[in-house]
Amino acid sequence: MKRWAAGKWSESPDAVVMEEPLQLLLDGEPLSVVMRTPGNDIELTIGLLYAEGVIQSAKDVKAVRISAEADERESAIDVDSSVVESNVIDVHLAKPPGRRPERSMLASSACGVCGAVMIEDLRRGLSPLGEGPRVQASVLPGLVELARQRDRQARRRAHGGEHWHARGD
């Protein structure tokens, strides 16, 4: 594959990152199917349930059932690897959910704004952040580039190659 970088073309191998569907169950009932790069399914699912307001913290999760094939563990949550089917995760709550999702639960690596019905839905349950560390604005571009480099390195290690977006980063 040819790549354009630093004002010149170069040849380099390209690896394809695999995506698979993941069936989400909530207390044994179908909730949604999402596409994802396999791995970290527990983290993805708990984060999605948190973002949707279904749970407020990991303490709201009684247990997670997932395929033994996934070989995932989570120290803060009881994980039961007894699900026979691959690509299925079943989250059992400690109490009734804070709310049932009102949309299709579209999951992507995007920020979560797409698919919301109203802007107010994005603010649900959020409180202002407290005082935190201060960083000079001039430092931020370097931090963004450092994060991109670390992300690329992690993807190379995980997939033996690199997933390139259309814009080439």
**Strands (DSSP E) found in the chain:** 2-5, 8-11, 20-26, 29-36, 61-67, 79-83, 88-93
Residue 135 CB: number of other CB atoms within 10 A? 9
Tokens 């005082």: give the residue: 131
Nearest to 27 by CA among 72, 80, 94: 94
Whole-angstrom Cα distance, residue 55 to residue 47?
Answer: 9
Which parts of the chain fold into alpha helices (H)?
41-51, 119-123, 140-159
Contact at 8 Å (CB) between 48 and 64?
no
Instruction: Point out the residues that are catalytic.
Output: 111
